Amino acid sequence: MKFRIDNLQYCNWSRQIFEINREAKLDAVHVTIVYHEDYDELVLEIKKWEKLFEENSDLILSGKNFKDIDKAQRENKTAIFFGFQNCSPIEDDIDLVEKVHELGCRFMQLTYNNQSLLATGCYEKIDSGVTNFGRETIKEMNRVGIVVDMSHSAEKSTFDAIEISEKPIAITHANPSFWHPAKRNKSNDLLKTLSQSGGMLGLSLYPHHLKNNTDCTLQSFCEMTARTAEIMNVKSIGIGSDLCLEQPDSVVEWMRNGTWSKSKNYGEGSKNRPGFPKQPGWFKDARGFENLEKGLMKIGFSEDETNGILGNNWFNFYKNI
């Protein structure tokens, strides 16, 4: 088998981007469909997606489980799996976990950058870990089949989630902090525990998570991947590019500020560089997977390992949970 999976994109979706993902031979993409939307707003987003599936049925299909990835490959399409970057669509209601699963949700972050009702985000001063409601929610996510995603969460909350969850969790889009100490990147200890628990890390190509940001080299990225494979089982490593193609800067402002602040927070950016950062030349979009393949082979990964990182590991993760 040889699957290509990008386990996190948040693009301003259009036929053109679906075509790029096909050119990149992506069999599956985990797509962020909402950040801070509540349940009703989620339903509106899903209606938009129903239209996208209808209008682009030659390029994409709706993914519900691993079999749809297989199906997509056979039909030369990309399976789209829905995910949330914040838990706001379940509001304060445990029963909505099952409802969002029915609507197609397969990944949900317990927090974005701030404190949520479930756990603490990486931008809070103090991390109190998974809350009472968080424990209940993880149990329910396990039951219905939604993956706990801790990409934007604080460290203790992530350790808690690994311990509480009866199924492996994921960090769909982040990098190790040994390489680039961004707030969102993860410690060696955490990555080791994640790997030992059967969880997955999706390496991010978002410039704020890369050493030297936009100027990060392919070689540096692949070296980081090799060092990460010394900390984690190589089978626990995949890609979650965090590509935000064609999004206007107003979107990143909303991602960072939601509706909870009167003052402006620049998150990983700054006042002088408030918008989306520019992608590195070797990963302008998903067609960069080809460069990653060459780079990973060059750094010494076997073909099997490379195929694992570029898709098969995520496929197995989908299959096992």
Residues between 33 and 52 that touch a second copy (CB under 8 A): 36, 38
Q: How many CB atoms lie within 10 A of CB 272?
A: 6
Residue with tokens 């960090």: 171
Which of residues 45, 124, 290, 293 is near a second copy by CB under 8 A? 124
Which range of residues in 108-116, 174-182, 211-219, 288-296 is near a second copy by CB under 8 A?
Answer: 108-116
Is 132 an interacting residue with respect to a second copy (CB under 8 A)? yes
Contact mark string toward a second copy, 272..301, x via CB under 8 A: ------------------------------
The DSSP code sequence of 147-197 is EEE-TTB-HHHHHHHHHH-SS--EE-S--BTTT---TTSB-HHHHHHHHHT
Phi-psi region of 71 (alpha: psi -120 to 50; beta: other; left: phi over 0): alpha
Contact range with a second copy by CB under 8 A, out of 65-73, 75-83, 115-123, 179-187: 115-123
Residues in the chain: 321
Confirm if 27 and 73 have CB atoms less than 8 A apart. yes
Contact between 259 and a second copy per CB under 8 A? yes
CB of 166 to a second copy, least distance (A): 15
306 lines the binding site for a second copy (CB under 8 A)? no
**Which is closer to a second copy, CB of 1 or CB of 144?**
144
Q: Residue numbers of the site for a second copy (CB under 8 A)?
A: 36, 38, 88, 91-95, 114-117, 120, 123-129, 131-134, 136-137, 139-140, 258-263
